[in-house]
Structure 1
Amino acid sequence: MASDEVVEIKVRDNGPYKVTGPVVLVDADGNRYDVAGRPVALCRCGLSETKPFCDGAHNAAEFEATERAPQEG
């Protein structure tokens, strides 16, 4: 990975994690998903039919996330 390539994981309010940058996505069984550097949205609500990807199910479920990334001080 080149030094100018940045991976960012954005915690979206009451929605998925938005991942951008050159990542390799591997599930718990070791299966790799070819995301080829494309931005991806990862499910946080647990209701997606396309896990680990978000399919928007959180909207109908009115998912409310309480966690936030901690601020380092």
Structure 2
Amino acid sequence: MTGRDVEVQVTACPDGPLLVRGPARIVDADGREIEKHRSTVALCRCGGTAIPPWCDGTHKVNGYRSGDGAD
């Protein structure tokens, strides 16, 4: 690090995962940290993944729609 604060950025992909970039700490429901192996990870929003909490692309086949808030 260069002394500057590094921001965490979360991007909601349309009809897909949440992309988390930066030094975010990911924890499970019990507060235990889940190790990240990359600086950018994709978190499942559809609930169908076989590798929770990570996205495995299942949203493409199960019809998940994130909606745009206009409904």
Is 1:7 matched up with 2:11?
A: no
SS at match of 2:60: helix
Distance 1:54 1:8 in 2: 17
Give ranges in structure 2 of 5+ residues lacking alignment: none
Percent identity reads 37
Structure 1 residues 18-69: Cα deviation after superposition (integer angstroms, max 9, x where no partner): 000011110101221121661000000000111111111101112111155x
SS at match of 1:25: coil
Distance 1:41 1:4 in 2: 22
Q: Runs (4+) of structure 1 moved beyond 4 Å?
A: none
SS at match of 1:15: coil
SS at match of 1:10: strand
Coordinate RMSD, CA, aligned: 1.9
TM-score w.r.t. the length of structure 1 is 0.80
Give ranges in structure 1 of 5+ residues lacking alignment: 69-73
